[in-house]
């Protein structure tokens, strides 16, 4: 399998640079304003000039203004970025009939049947980069590898505006030297658990009993890492769009009071549900804590999730988050994905 992963570089900020050439070369920060005050909210993304000053996604706008007082601060314009994203995705789609859209600025394509080897894949990746830049003036970073996860990691390593490749004969050394923290899906909490049991590199997974690994991080994540470590992870690129439908709202004050949070959670569900074309099978409650750390909890159903069911299940997920985490909540939201589209959807809802 030859997988090509495309990541649009600092996408929101880069679109603003294309639309406003006078911003190019200057620190630029795209923000999600909460509405509490002029400086309240969080950074969505920043260009590399701003990143050199310490600005990064997720930090408070007030902190970003301290780090980069002369930077350009702009509100996020999701509709504008979505239009550019759709045009770029259509360019990518021409290069393979197997395309998986992972987010507004990420996509995988399977080019196994389009090239004879990895050398040809590299040439295809170069052509794709050039076409996207020629037509949209957006740079992308591309990773090419024998599976989706390794392709994404390679793309991350060559940012920005890079093109990297991992050939089959290089995979063993790659697994041996890859830091466990570099693997998609290994966040701060899981990373700490893995380090605690002596796992610092991906190869270290093979030196820990599987039952120990499963006990620490759960069965699904344990299987995922074990397959990566043994080079047996070959999840196919499927023709689907994995962009979740979500809505997040800022609370009037940081709190743990369910009576204050619940109406905002219900409103988030109502607004997110309007965006869905079909019936979701997974719901995720997301809380942004007082220090802007993000905590989420999901639940998947074999059948679909009606709006009434979403109200009930989201409250249980929120309670589970608050039970484990004692910090105050700043924002709350919900995401729906695994969307099912069919005739007779009402019969599908459980």
Q: Which residues are documented as binding site for Mg(2+)?
A: 7, 105
Length of the chain: 350
Phi and psi angles of residue 10, each rounded to the nearest 5 degrees, phi first: 25, 60
DSSP-derived secondary structure letter, 143: E
DSSP 249-264: EEEEEEE--HHHHHHH
Enumerate long-range contacts of 318-325, CB under 8 Å, 24 or more apart.
Answer: 318/258, 318/261, 318/262, 318/265, 318/285, 318/287, 319/258, 321/285, 321/287, 321/295, 321/296, 321/297, 322/256, 322/258, 325/287, 325/289, 325/295
Helix (H, G, I), strand (E, B) or coil at 120: helix
DSSP-derived secondary structure letter, 183: S
What is the pairing mode between strands 72-75 and 106-110?
unpaired
Cβ 139 vs Cβ 118: under 8 Å: no
Q: Which residues are documented as binding site?
A: 7, 105
- Catalytic, 106? Answer yes
Q: Helices in the chain by DSSP H: which ranges?
A: 11-19, 48-51, 61-67, 78-93, 118-136, 148-157, 171-177, 188-196, 210-217, 219-229, 258-273, 307-324, 345-348
Structure tokens at 182: 């570099």
Cβ 229 vs Cβ 190: under 8 Å: no
How far apart are the C-alpha atoms of 128 and 140, rounded to whole Å? 9
With CA atoms as reference, report the closest residue to 141 among 296, 298, 7, 283: 7
How far apart are the C-alpha atoms of 252 and 243, rounded to whole Å? 28
How far apart are the C-alpha atoms of 263 and 234, rounded to whole Å? 42
- Catalytic one among 17, 100, 106, 136? 106
With CA atoms as reference, report the closest residue to 337 among 272, 256, 287, 289: 272
Q: Which residues are catalytic?
A: 106
């Amino acid at each position: 399998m030859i997988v090509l992963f495309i990541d649009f570089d600092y996408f929101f900020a880069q679109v603003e640079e294309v639309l406003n050439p006078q911003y190019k070369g200057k620190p630029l920060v795209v923000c999600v304003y909460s509405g509490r005050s002029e400086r309240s909210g969080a950074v969505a993304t920043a260009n590399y000039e701003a990143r050199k000053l310490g600005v990064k996604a997720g930090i408070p706008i007030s902190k970003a203004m301290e780090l980069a007082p002369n930077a350009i601060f702009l509100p996020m314009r999701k509709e504008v970025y979505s239009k550019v994203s759709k045009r770029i995705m259509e360019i990518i789609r021409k290069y393979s009939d197997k395309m998986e859209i992972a987010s507004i600025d990420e996509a995988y394509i399977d080019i196994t049947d389009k090239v004879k080897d990895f050398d040809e894949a590299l040439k295809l990746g170069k052509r794709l980069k050039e076409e996207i830049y020629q037509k949209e003036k957006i740079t992308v970073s591309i990773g090419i590898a024998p599976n989706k996860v390794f392709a994404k990691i390679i793309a991350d390593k060559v940012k920005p505006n890079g093109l990297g490749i991992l050939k089959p004969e290089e995979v063993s050394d790659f697994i041996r030297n890859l830091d466990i923290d570099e693997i998609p899906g290994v966040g701060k909490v899981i990373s700490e658990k893995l380090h605690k049991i002596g796992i610092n590199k991906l190869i270290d997974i093979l030196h820990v009993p599987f039952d120990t690994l499963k006990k620490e991080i759960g069965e699904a994540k344990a299987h995922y890492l074990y397959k990566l470590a043994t080079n047996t992870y070959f999840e196919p690129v499927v023709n689907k769009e994995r962009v979740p439908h979500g809505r997040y709202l800022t609370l009037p004050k940081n709190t743990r009071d369910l009576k204050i949070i619940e109406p905002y959670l219900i409103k988030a569900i109502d607004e997110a549900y309007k965006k869905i074309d079909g019936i979701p099978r997974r719901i995720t409650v997301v809380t942004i804590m007082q220090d802007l750390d993000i905590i989420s909890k999901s639940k998947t159903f074999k059948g679909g999730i009606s709006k009434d069911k979403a109200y009930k299940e989201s409250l249980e997920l929120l309670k589970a988050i608050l039970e484990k985490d004692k910090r105050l909540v700043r924002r709350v939201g919900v995401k729906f994905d695994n969307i099912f589209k069919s005739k007779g959807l009402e019969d599908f809802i459980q």
